[in-house]
Structure 1
Amino acid sequence: MIGLLLGGSLAGLFALGVPIALALTLASALALQAQGIPLNAVVQRMFTALDSFPLAAIPFFILAGCLMERSGISLRLVAFARAMIGRRTGGLALVTVVAAMFFSAISGSSAATTAAIGTILIPAMVRHGYPRPFATSVQAASGELGVIIPPSIPMIIFALTAGVPVSIGDMFIAGIVPGLLIALSLMLTARLISQRSGFGETAVTAPPSAETDPAAPRGASGADAGSVDRIASRREAFLQAALALLMPILVLGGIYGGVFTPTEAAMAAVGYAFVLGAFVYRSLTLSKLYAAFSDALIASVAILTIIAAANLFGWVLTINQIPGAVTAMFLAISDNPIVFLLMVNLLLLLIGMFLETGAAIIILAPTLTPVAMAFGIPPVHFGIVMIVNLAIGMTTPPLGVNLFVACQIAGLRVEKILRSMLPFYAALLLNLLLITYLPALSLTLPSLLR
């Protein structure tokens, strides 16, 4: 009865457009009132949920990403990706994926990755002959890497709300191989489409010679001079981006090297981002610093409020033994983990279309993770499966945040790019199946490093 009251009231509040945090709080308070439990438990549980040192990692990682973004790091990462890939058919589409992958290792946010990289590369792709819907689709699909490649805000949320012990460090390391796999598949998809349709640059430009370019080395052939120039440009682009690329190494290496905890790693990332932007690149002005803190404050308050409300909701579920009932229901349907994961994938793909990723994790992880463990599925693997599922939801209508951010940058309506998105949806779903049914993709690196 309490389960029906919780589910029904929550669905009704969502349908009315009530904000997620408020809906979770009201549904929980209604259930507690129906059981005769004093409502001061609402405040106590929500305060207790936020009284957590590991939880402080979230606002600090958000701030680090905002500082890097406001410092113009995305421009350096795009330049580095462009120098590495060069001019070729579909070259800028490949640069979009690679640059998103690099920025994902800094931001931890899908929307931030889409905005930071898309603002630069969607207009650039259009200028180089790529159709606007295709350019927008590449960016929207690549943006999901922001929550899969560590550091990742949803990974921290999962580790803190799963209801079972889960290491944030293990979650971070487990996301590396799936993130690289998805990035490679998106590059392959973009490359094949560009080759078939002739999008973008079609050939490497002729290298300069000593006769046409005074800067070319004397006595060198045109090909040799072009090779020297390409090497020099790649070296320069790498040097410009190298310090930014060190941040994920600092974070992951520090955590797994035992130098600091995930929360301390987030604080170190903030300090590193500030020093890099203010004193090394000297691009972080007072106005940009204020904007970075403002962006981080708004995002952090929103996420932490949802976490507090979801913790209350999860506590109400637990005291009414609803997770155990859900486990029994799944076991009654099938005791095969393959079938269970298939049902979970379908459920999460559907929910990801309508619910923000962090909120979906907070609501579903405490219920589904113990069920997954009952099927013998390690929680780290299940967490990666959940996050990849919900990341795909960021690219699907009606509420896909990446679609809206990318379309806003491109000046397109969402429905105009759905056809261009279909090949990328196919690639993402294929990756989801591989990550779901090949747990070694997620678990090998954490096992080796542990």
Structure 2
Amino acid sequence: MSALAIYLSVGLITLLLLGVPVAFTLAILAITGLYIADINPIIFAQRALAGTNVTSLLAIPGFILAGDLMSSGGLSRRLVRFAAAVFGHLTGGLSMATVVAGTFFGAISGSAPATTAAVGSVMIDELDKRGYKRGYAAALATSVGPIGQMIPPSIPMVIWGVLAEQSIARLFLAGVVPGLIAAAGFMVVSYFYARHYGLTSDKQTTWLELRAAVRDGIWALLAPVVILGGIYGGVFTPTEASMVGVFYGLIVGLFIYKELKWTELGTVLLRSMRTSGIIMFIISMAYAFAYLMANEQIPAQIAGYLLSISDNPLIILLLVNLLLLILGAIMDNVSGMVILSSVLTAIGAQIGMDPIQLGAMVVINLAVGMVTPPVGYSIFVGASISGLRVETVALHLWPFLLVLLGVIALVAYVPAVTLWLPGLMS
């Protein structure tokens, strides 16, 4: 390993341990690394620009803004009401309704923190009032966040599709079955939790009440149908679908539900722009850093090392999943994907893994990192909304994490879980 490769590897670990933000860590190492390697520093600007000069990435600010508009416009609250009307009478029904609402909202926003915020702001207090421990309620709202990154449209799937040069539409489909399995697992946890603590359920919803919930929430329920139906019906691309989602959120929020006020648009836009800017900045810095990594052949060396441990693909997959889980616990998923994309694609090719299955496995592993201390963004969102300490929320996460680890195992070792739906599309 060259001196520059050692510098980049040690520097990355050291700066992250010191608490330097990931984007600035990558920028510092990329700039100093270019000087050490005696490479023209103009390469930094070129690679940083190339990292964001990709048409498909336009879907990211679009889906972020669409999710913010729909949340502010009252769609998330109506999704919760509909889910409660359908599942509220079951044992653990209100907890199940939280899972269903999170799954629906995930099909709108594509973001784990946004899903946690939208569902948690409505359901945590309600679950608390019905006898559920507040820590459990916060952990549940936190855990449904990763479903927002599995169920399409998924912002991380867009990023991986660009990095690995894979079909974003096929990657979207690859996340559907794992997302539904995770949701089903959470509903099982909800049932046994309510049964263990003897929590009462709501009365059976009458036909009139159900019809009222459907009538009130029909525009919210149609949002994922419009967005995903348009993509797979060939009407528009995923990037165009994000803009359709923005337009849909504006129309429904301003003129149908009338909960989104003209005076709030500036705040919503600024919030979305801030989130999009952070993601794009990380991607641009990671691309500059990845140039040096590739120039020093570090990804190939890491891949070679992992492949030298065993020639059994099952063992290699286990090691890759452990690496991704550890990375997801200490780094945001965008940075993790950009830094390791070349390593993981090389390993996937060596063991004969389908690129779509590999992409789904990477995204889902890093999505679990969103609910894993110490850097799980969704945990901080759930703690902030519930008013609890992060440690309290984390203590109640374990049954949901077990479900998510089971989903990761299925995705890694049962190819049909991720490849069945994309296979139907082709």
TM-score normalised by structure 1 residue count: 0.91
Aligned residue identity for 2:256: V
Residue 64 of structure 1: how far off its partner (Å): 0.7
- Counterpart of 2:194, as a letter, is S
Note if 1:198 corresponds to 2:195: no
1:212 matched residue in structure 2 = none
The answer to whether the Cα contact below 8 Å between 1:161 and 1:311 also exists between their aligned partners in 2 is no
Q: Which of 325, 328, 336 is the equivalent residue of 1:360? A: 336
Match of 1:149 in 2: 151
Aligned partner of 1:447 in structure 2 is 423
Which stretch of the first structure deviates more once superposed, 43-52 or 175-184? 43-52
Per the alignment, residue 300 of structure 2 pairs with 324
CA shift, 1:421, in A, is 2.0
- Pick one of 93, 96, 110 that aligns with 1:108: 110
The AA in structure 1 aligned to 2:299 is P
Aligned residue identity for 1:234: L
Identity of aligned residues (%): 40
Secondary structure of the structure 2 residue equivalent to 1:282: coil
Per-residue CA deviations over 1:384-429 (Å, capped at 9, x if unaligned) read 1112111222222122222221122222112223442222222221
Deviations 1:89-124 (A, max 9, x none): 312111111111111111111111111111111100
Counterpart amino acid of 1:315? Y
Question: 3-state DSSP class of the match of 2:38?
Answer: coil
User: Does 2:86 correspond to 1:51?
Assistant: no
Q: Secondary structure at the match of 2:372?
A: coil
Q: Does 1:280 align with 2:282?
A: no
Cα deviation, residue 379, structure 1: 1.5
Deviation at 1:338, TM superposition (A): 1.0
Q: Which residue of 1 aligns with 2:213?
A: 237
Q: 1:33 aligns with which of 32, 35, 56?
A: 35
Once the two structures are TM-superposed, the CA of residue 241 in structure 1 deviates from its matched residue by: 2.0
Q: Deviations over 1:163-210 (max 9, x none)?
A: xx21111111111110000000011011112112213x24x53xxxxx
Corresponding residue for residue 5 of structure 1: 7
Amino acid at match of 1:260: F
Structure 1 unaligned residues grouped into runs of 5+: 206-225
Residue 24 of structure 1: how far off its partner (Å): 0.8
Alpha-carbon separation, structure 2, partners of 1:4 and 1:160 = 28
Over alpha carbons, which structure has the higher Rg?
1
Q: Are the equivalent residues in 2 in contact too, given 1:169–1:252 (CA < 8 A)?
A: no
Is it true that 1:423 corresponds to 2:425 in the alignment? no
Residues 328-370 of structure 1: CA distance to partner in whole angstroms, max 9, x if unpaired? 2222112222111100111111111111122212222232122
Query: What corresponds to 2:282 in structure 1?
Result: 306
Does the 8 Å CA contact 1:372/1:379 hold for their aligned counterparts? Answer: yes
Instruction: Return 297-306 or 24-33, whichever deviates more.
Output: 24-33
1:184 aligns with 2:222: no
Q: What residue number does 1:215 align with?
A: none
Alignment-mate amino acid for residue 195 of structure 2: Q
The answer on 1:259 being equivalent to 2:235 is yes
1:381 is aligned to 2:357: yes
Query: Contact between 1:326 and 1:371, CA under 8 Å: does it hold in 2?
Result: no
Mapped to 2, the partners of 1:51 and 1:134 lie a distance apart of: 42
Q: Does 1:171 align with 2:147?
A: no
| Cα offset, 1:19, TM superposition | 2.0
The one-character-per-residue Cα deviations of 1:9-68 (angstroms, maximum 9, x if unpaired) are: 222222232222121121112222111111111011111222221111111111111111
Residue pair 1:70, 1:289 contacting (<8 A) in 2 also: no
- The answer for the alignment partner of 2:25 in structure 1 is 23
Q: 1:48 and 1:92 mapped to 2: Cα distance?
A: 47
Q: Distance in 2 between matches of 1:52 and 1:144?
A: 25
The aligned residue for residue 219 of structure 1 is none
Which residue does 2:346 correspond to in 1?
370
Q: 8 Å contact 2:59–2:238 — kept in the other structure?
A: yes
Residue 295 of structure 1 pairs with residue 271 of structure 2: yes
Q: Compared with structure 1, are the counterparts of its residues 12 and 266 closer, same or farther at alpha carbon in structure 2 (3 Å cutoff)?
A: same
Q: Does the 8 A contact of 1:172 with 1:252 survive in 2?
A: no
Q: Which amino acid aligns with 1:179?
A: G
Distance 1:356 1:129 in 2: 34
Change (3 A) 1:247 1:373: farther
Q: Quick one: distance in 2 between partners of 1:113 and 1:369?
A: 29
Query: Do the aligned residues in 1 keep the contact of 2:379 with 2:394 (CA within 8 Å)?
Result: no
Aligned Cα RMSD in Å?
1.6
> Hey, what's the Cα distance between the residues in 1 that align with 2:220 and 2:129?
28
| Aligned with 1:71 (options 67, 70, 73) | 73
Is contact 2:105–2:115 with CA below 8 Å preserved after alignment?
A: yes
Q: Which runs of 5+ in 2 are unaligned?
A: none
SS of aligned partner of 2:152: coil
**Superimposed CA distance per residue, residues 243-273 of structure 1 (whole angstroms, 9 cap, x where no aligned partner):** 2222222222222332222211111111111
Report the residue type matching 2:104 in the other structure: F
Maintained 8 Å contact 1:348/1:390:
yes
Report the TM-score when normalising by structure 2.
0.96
